[in-house]
Amino acid sequence: MPELPEVETIKRELSKKIIGVKITDITINHNKVVKEPSQDLFKKQIQNSSIEDIIRRGKLLIFVLDKKFLIVHLRISGWLLYGEKDPKARAVFGLSNGKFLNYMDQRVLGELRLRSSFEDLSFLQRLGPEPFELTDKEFSEILKNKKTKIKVLLLDQNRIAGIGNIYAQEALFLAGIDPRRQALSLTEKEAKLLLKKIKDVLTEAIKYHGSSVDAYRDTEGKKGGMENRLKVYGRKGEPCYKCGRPIEKMSLGSRGTCFCKKCQR
């Protein structure tokens, strides 16, 4: 799943390739991917726009065009493939440099929006702070008085931006914290450690170009590299790297959650 590190990887890779390039034509292959405006208007308005910048906010990718903003949310299975036109693409942007930017999305839960502004998107207005911008004190404030389970809170984009199901599980394992703990039950020391582990795992994941545990690929179509370095995600039944006991799996907030019963308290 594309989370902060995967979206950041896409942003960095594409920034080197398509800034200054013009979108010359658009093909939409699935009628659910364009959320606004209508598909026809979307195509008409994006035609001949040049790409001036790429911004990331949490898991959102924003292409700054000369007249509009193209806002891409990859959700679960979205990714962007640069190069040749791909027959499986849900949408294809033909570029003035002769290349194509393919919007890939197996499960079609992602979305494309073309707007004249982006700050007013409700998702962005409610979006919490980026983990890297958080101080220990601010993080403690977020956890304060919250009875929500710590893992569910980490996934709440309105509290903290960019963390998804993979890195929430990883950070909690690294910090030795049981995902079921109420957020308010964490001590100052635990909160500080957890924030550090969140930053550590996100930094490591960016360094390794993200995790390809599912559909996600980088803009060259290559796998990430972080998927081989994950400590608990997807490791149900396999031995814990710290204590050797089998990793367990449960459902939290209707999402799979792997953890070590002994190492996470």
Partner DNA sequence: CGGGGCTCCTGTGCGC
Partner DNA sequence: TGCGCACAGGAGCCCC
> For DNA, how many residues bind (rule: CB under 7 A)?
33
CB within 8 Å of 38: residues ≥ 6 apart = none
165 binds DNA (CB under 7 A): yes
149 binds DNA (CB under 7 A): yes
19 binds DNA (CB under 7 A): no
**Shortest CB 161 distance to DNA, Å:** 8
116 binds DNA (CB under 7 A): no
First to last CA, the chain: 27
Stretch that binds DNA, among 10-18, 44-52, 134-142, 253-261 (CB under 7 A): 253-261
Q: Which residues are catalytic?
A: 2-3, 59, 255
155 binds DNA (CB under 7 A): yes
185 binds DNA (CB under 7 A): no
Strands 111-115 and 69-73: antiparallel
Distance of CA 178 to the CA centre of its chain: 23
Q: Closer CB to DNA, residue 17 or residue 149? A: 149
In 67-225, beta strands by DSSP E: 69-73, 78-83, 91-95, 100-105, 111-115
Q: Give the residue, chosen from 132, 256, 262, 265, that forms a contact with DNA under the rule CB under 7 A.
A: 256
Compute the distance between CA of residue 247 and CA of residue 115 in angstroms, rounded to an integer: 45
146 binds DNA (CB under 7 A): yes
Sheet (strand 111-115) strand order: 34-36, 111-115, 69-73, 60-65, 51-57
> Which residues would be at the binding site for DNA (CB under 7 A)?
1, 30, 32, 58-59, 73, 75-77, 106-109, 122-123, 126, 145-149, 152, 155, 157-158, 164-166, 182, 253-256
